[in-house]
Amino acid sequence: MEFKVNSKELEKLLGKIIPAVPTRTPMPILENFLFEVKDGLLTIYATDLEISLKSALNIVTDENLKMVVPARLLYDIVRSLKDTTIHFKMMANKKINLVTDAGKYTISYLDADEYPEIPSLSADKDINEVTINGVELRHAFERGSFAMSKEEMRPAMMGTLFEFTNDGLRFVTTDGHRLVNMLNKNVKSLTNNQYVVPERAVSVLTKILDEKDVKIYMTKSYMSFKLNDIELITRLIAQKYPDYASVIPLENEYLMKVNTKELHDSIKRMMLFSTSSTRRVKFSIEKTSVEISAEDLDIGASGEEKVTCDYTGDNLEIGFNSAYVNDVLNHISSEEEITFRLHSATKAVIIEPVQKKESLDMMMLLMPVRLNS
C-alpha cells in the first residue's frame, strides 16, 4: 500500500493536529497520529482523550488504509524536508518507507485498532448547533482564560462556562479571586444551556482560531468546534458551574475612572515593592487622584505613586493582590479608559471599559485583600 503527498502540505496539516498530542502520557499510543486514507482523502487524527483534533487533505492514491505513526518523529522529519513529494510505502515488519528525491527514511507504524476511538458528534441525535465568528471567540478566550482556576478541588472552575441565554452567548471564568464575564450578543441560540469547556480545549483553540466563522456542535458530554479546515472535539467538564451571578455586587455606587495604561504602568512598578507572600498593593482614592503604594518589609523597600482619576465617592483605602490587578489590566489593555465600581474596602470591585460596545458586554470582578492598618 502506498500514497504520495507534498511535504509542505503535509507539514501544514501535521502542524495543526500536533497540539492535541500529549507531551507526557502514561498511554504511549497517544504519542501517535492516526492516519486514515479513504477514497483519495487523507484524514489525520490526534487525541489526548480530553481533546481530539482532525483534519484532512486530498492525496494521490488508489488504496484505502489506516495506520498509527509516531507523531513527533514524523512531524520533525516532514518539516525538515524541502518542498518535495514524499512517497509513503508500507513495508513488511510494520515499517513505512518515506522516499524523496534526496533520501529514504524508515519509521515504524502500529495497527489502527490499537488507537482510541475519536468521538463523533454527528452520530448523536441530541445535538445543538450555533455559529460564532472565529475572532470573537478567540478574543473571549484571550480575555477570560487567565481567570480559570488551577485548583483541582473544584473542577468546574478549571474550565470556561459557555452559557446560552436569550441575550446571547455568555463566557464566564473565575477562580474565586477574580471573575471575567462577557456576553457576546451576536450569537443567537434557541437553547438555554450551560456547558463547561476544559482549559486545554480553550488554549488549543486560542492558537488555531482565525477570522473565519466557527460552527459549534454540542451534546451533553462533548462539544465540537468546526473551523474551516480542522475540527476540535472536546469532552465537557461534567460538573455544574458555580452560581457566578450571586457574587457580582449590584450596588457598587462609587465610580473611579482611570486611564488604563497609566494605572497599569504604576501597578507594574508597585509589584516590585509588594511583599512576595501577600503581593499587596494599596489604592488610596480621592476625588482627582489615586495613590498606589506598596511595601516589602522583607527587603526594606517601598514605593508610592499618584495616578490621575475621576472619582465620585468618599475617600477610600482598599487593598488588592498586585498580581491579580496586573492580570486584569493585562486583559483589558485594549480599552483606553476603565471604570472601577466600588463600595467599600471589603466588597468585590467591578472593572469595566468606559467605552461600551454594542455587541459585547464585558466586566471583570476583583476581590479586595485586607489592609492591616
Q: Does 18 bind a second copy (CB under 8 A)?
A: no
Q: Which class for 56: exposed (0-12), middle (13-18), buried (19 or more C-beta within 10 A)?
A: middle
Q: Does 266 bind a second copy (CB under 8 A)?
A: yes
| Among the listed residues 94, 95, 92, the one whose alpha carbon sits nearest the alpha carbon of residue 104 | 95
DSSP 341-367: EE--TTS-EEEEESS--SSEEEEEEE-
- Residues 348, 353: Cα–Cα separation, whole Å: 17
Q: Which class for 147: exposed (0-12), middle (13-18), buried (19 or more C-beta within 10 A)?
A: buried
- Residues 289, 273: Cα–Cα separation, whole Å: 20
- Give whichever of 80 and 186 is closer to a second copy, judged by the CB atom: 80
Q: Which residues pair with 233 in a beta bridge?
A: 52, 224
Answer for which of 29, 49, 91, 103 binds a second copy (CB under 8 A) is 103
Q: Does 104 bind a second copy (CB under 8 A)?
A: yes
- Give whichever of 44 and 270 is closer to a second copy, judged by the CB atom: 270
Q: Give least dist CB 30 to a second copy, A.
A: 16
Strands 159-164 and 349-353, sheet pairing: unpaired
One-letter amino acid for residue 361 of the chain? D
Cell, residue 300 = 526594606
Q: Does 287 bind a second copy (CB under 8 A)?
A: no
- Give whichever of 98 and 342 is closer to a second copy, judged by the CB atom: 98
Q: Give least dist CB 224 to a second copy, A.
A: 33
x/- map, 42-81, a second copy, by CB under 8 A:
----------------------------x--x--xx--xx
Q: Give least dist CB 133 to a second copy, A.
A: 37
Q: Does 306 bind a second copy (CB under 8 A)?
A: yes
Cell, residue 286 = 480621592
Q: Does 8 bind a second copy (CB under 8 A)?
A: no
Strands 41-47 and 32-38, sheet pairing: antiparallel
Q: What is the dihedral of CA 202, 204, 210, 215, to 10 degrees?
A: -60
- Residues 33, 234: Cα–Cα separation, whole Å: 17
Applying the rule CB under 8 A, the residues between 312 and 341 that interact with a second copy are none
Q: Give least dist CB 73 to a second copy, A.
A: 6
| Among the listed residues 278, 353, 371, the one whose alpha carbon sits nearest the alpha carbon of residue 323 | 278
Selected range binding a second copy among 152-160, 182-190, 205-213, 267-275, rule: CB under 8 A: 267-275
Applying the rule CB under 8 A, the residues between 169 and 208 that interact with a second copy are none
Q: Give least dist CB 285 to a second copy, A.
A: 16
Answer for which of 58, 120, 302, 333 binds a second copy (CB under 8 A) is 302
- Give whichever of 177 and 268 is closer to a second copy, judged by the CB atom: 268
Answer for which of 142, 305, 337, 361 binds a second copy (CB under 8 A) is 305
Cell, residue 235 = 469532552
Selected range binding a second copy among 98-106, 126-134, 147-155, 343-351, rule: CB under 8 A: 98-106
Selected range binding a second copy among 33-41, 137-145, 268-276, 347-355, rule: CB under 8 A: 268-276
Query: What's the Rg (C-alpha) of the chain?
Result: 26
- Residues 152, 173: Cα–Cα separation, whole Å: 15
Positions touching a second copy (CB under 8 A) are 70, 73, 76-77, 80-82, 95, 102-108, 265-266, 268-269, 272-273, 299-306
